[in-house]
Structure 1
């Protein structure tokens, strides 16, 4: 699969900075050009939020972080880049001029995407020497989390360019959707504009305030849209008779005077003040960076939930996240199982905001998750990877005992280590410790038992020779170690 090897971001505002974060966390070096005097601070703050979000989003091994370099000119920024993303303010002459400069300085084979929300790519590529490689790549904020990019070609854009862009975006966890025809505002913003226009009328006519309107969205169809969109949601609403029944039942209301979509609200100073004051009352207690972090935590939670839905196969953005994680695992360096008489260092974890309770202490089930992830790390070490599982073999946890000895807190860096207790390969019996990295404090222990199974046979069987070859030296190396304190305990047993 083709991939992005180096990117350039021209414009470092909300969208350009988030594009840079998406690239950098995907292991891609980025040259950034933005003449704003505080561009480095703004992009740095966006980058910090993105790293915080990714720490919550996935335990899959991200590639080594790309390097961010601020350039002094467009010409300098695009050197060596094979994906150039333009994200300057939404003015046709400005964007066209910047894209023409990019075209004149970049490698003729480099892809050039524009983050425009609605300008026509044909208008943007008018003065280019190599217009066939230019297209709209319209993302959604925050770009580093929301995976969609609308790919829209102009009259001179080749289909091969759009197909190539879609394939490259997949390697950084994004969903490129190719829009068949060039149209102002594309698809997403046309839908948003319709809801936004109706929302402005509802506020102007005092039907509700901004908070009530947002509550209507987020407590109802917003959640449906997050996982199924519009048409699949309405298909369900049609019951067993499906979409035809839904349209027959609700189609006539489209001719009723329910909406004002053909009327444009007059954004008078009075209406602007009303909306701004209501918005301040709704959200003014939070700073913009705090709102961004709250938004990111909520998006991570939704995506993680969707990843586990549909019998573990995922749905919507969660399915895309699972596929991206599979890509990360497949491209991560393969760990080597080195036998030694010290416990195995398996995992380093940071306690992120979604893991803590109202006291900022890590919730109980996250300790178990740390040990489960530690066991997964052992399995990867001995060759039980996605291919092994896909072939019908795996280890299943059959018993565990977790002790909570101290508190992990928000921001703590944690380390999981493991000693393998007497095992035969078909059975892997282990003891794990969870410690705080900063002071070595022991926070929790877990005694754990896994059995190797064949999903095809539906029973426990010995592991394949390739796995046993890596596992047996580890079992042998730990065979002479003393039994860890706490091994063999049961719930409620007195200490000492």
Structure 2
């Protein structure tokens, strides 16, 4: 069943929401009176298509459609989620909500991207105030998972639960605030840092670039994976948070900051900051800076993913959800036709897999084929629990043929068949395709090993039987072209 989202306001944030929904398989209906809206969203979608699919190690669902509509009435028709991202003026938002509620389904979630208004302010005069809630994301919406969900006092629990379920299914983290406050949570931190930064520039203490360097080379990296309180807990050493607060708490009364005072926004201050900012990064266009930002975010978030920590843990959970119910999560006895090669990898090539030649690095072919072997091992029962019990398969020999190129964003599929499987031995053949095009083959020979002795040993009877089922069913298939080939042999 197709899912439909309506985007009211297609600027930077609205376009990001459109990309997040569409690349997760939703159909998106956009209303924005700006005649450039279609071009702007197309550019955001271009950035999202090159970066977002590479966050996960399983391919995103088929992309939904994006359509543009001449009225709010048309845009909200059939939508179960409606995201308002119009300018930050309460009168404009109230007029928008009135038009939305006159036409939308009563059980649709109406989220507002507002960074400052409280839900009680948004709900004033609304026909169904319980339907409207703050859903404040962070740019770029298609990569950063945080969304502050603030329902206000009039919202029903069922509608809030529906909103949280929908956002989680998009790979986002809904931070449900039980109490409303101006600017919610995250922007209050950002405003405090911004205010202090303005003073540091105005007073000639540091330039815009030096302030950015202080963040990105220091505490910004710590915050990216541990946040604030956990970072300070570690800073307290073995004595923990109590020691940290006892040691550094008194400095809160010292005149270190000017958080309660704001520098006057004179023309001189604006020109000073704008000039330093232009000198810092003016050699790049905004679209170039967005792509640089996206490259960095994907790389950092994928690093956190390998550690199953912070945003990476959230991505792993989303990926598990996407795999559920597909062959990528099936056990051996759930495969109806063991005679056919089985799908073991279905994913996009991420940005950090591409080398200086502009295509997938040869090491990443081994990475993908290694994932295929791991998936097949898991399928026949050699999973984490089995390995923890003391047995596993070790790869003894690998041969890869590079037949064609793969580029960032290409969706690759690896199918796996068993050339031989009996006793301690497992001989696998992998084929990597992009659509119908064969781009590489991988041949793996593995031995079952006791992790206690680090020597070959017999697998469990269950694993041996599961492996034999595939080996026997596939024994009549033609020998694949290139199997057993040595390096340098004629093609």
Once residues 451 and 99 of structure 1 are traced to their aligned partners in structure 2, the CA distance between those partners, rounded to angstroms, is 63
Specify the alignment match of 1:94 in structure 2: 92
Aligned residues: 480
Q: SS of the counterpart of 1:422? A: strand
Post-superposition offset of 1:143: 0.9
Of 428-437 and 184-193, the range deviating more from structure 2: 428-437
Whether the 8 Å contact between 2:28 and 2:66 is mirrored in structure 1 is yes
Post-superposition offset of 1:168: 2.1
Specify the alignment match of 1:368 in structure 2: 366
Q: SS of the counterpart of 2:420? A: coil
Specify the alignment match of 1:267 in structure 2: 265
Specify the alignment match of 1:463 in structure 2: 462
Cα distance change on mapping 1:359 and 1:468 into 2, 3 Å: closer
Cα distance change on mapping 1:361 and 1:80 into 2, 3 Å: closer
Specify the alignment match of 1:475 in structure 2: 474
Once residues 433 and 2 of structure 2 are traced to their aligned partners in structure 1, the CA distance between those partners, rounded to angstroms, is 38
Q: Deviations over 1:114-137 (max 9, x none)?
A: 000011111111111111121101
Instruction: Identify which of 289, 295, 298 aligns with 1:297.
Output: 295
Specify the alignment match of 1:27 in structure 2: 25
Whether the 8 Å contact between 2:59 and 2:346 is mirrored in structure 1 is no
Specify the alignment match of 2:191 in structure 1: 193
Once residues 17 and 183 of structure 1 are traced to their aligned partners in structure 2, the CA distance between those partners, rounded to angstroms, is 26
Post-superposition offset of 1:483: 7.4
Once residues 20 and 393 of structure 1 are traced to their aligned partners in structure 2, the CA distance between those partners, rounded to angstroms, is 48
Q: How does 1:93-492 map onto structure 2 within 5 Å? A: 93-309=91-307, 314-332=308-326, 338=337, 351-376=349-374, 378=376, 396-403=393-400, 408=405, 410-411=407-408, 416=414, 418=416, 420-424=418-422, 427-433=425-431, 445-449=442-446, 451=448, 460-463=459-462, 467-468=466-467, 471-478=470-477, 481-482=478-479, 485=482, 487=484, 489=486
Provide the aligned C-alpha RMSD in A. Answer: 3.4
Cα distance change on mapping 1:253 and 1:369 into 2, 3 Å: same
Q: SS of the counterpart of 1:19? A: helix
Q: What's the TM-score, normalizing by structure 2?
A: 0.87
Gaps of at least 5 residues in structure 2 are: none
Post-superposition offset of 1:473: 4.9
Gaps of at least 5 residues in structure 1 are: none
Whether the 8 Å contact between 1:60 and 1:329 is mirrored in structure 2 is yes
Cα distance change on mapping 1:386 and 1:345 into 2, 3 Å: closer
Q: SS of the counterpart of 1:214? A: helix
Post-superposition offset of 1:24: 1.3
Q: Deviations over 1:324-380 (max 9, x none)?
A: 000000044678564668x77765665443112334353342121121233356568
Cα distance change on mapping 1:345 and 1:333 into 2, 3 Å: closer
Whether the 8 Å contact between 2:304 and 2:311 is mirrored in structure 1 is yes
Once residues 111 and 262 of structure 1 are traced to their aligned partners in structure 2, the CA distance between those partners, rounded to angstroms, is 37
Post-superposition offset of 1:475: 3.2
Once residues 191 and 61 of structure 2 are traced to their aligned partners in structure 1, the CA distance between those partners, rounded to angstroms, is 37
Specify the alignment match of 1:40 in structure 2: 38
Of 352-361 and 233-242, the range deviating more from structure 2: 352-361
Once residues 11 and 178 of structure 1 are traced to their aligned partners in structure 2, the CA distance between those partners, rounded to angstroms, is 24
Once residues 75 and 385 of structure 1 are traced to their aligned partners in structure 2, the CA distance between those partners, rounded to angstroms, is 54
Q: SS of the counterpart of 1:98? A: helix
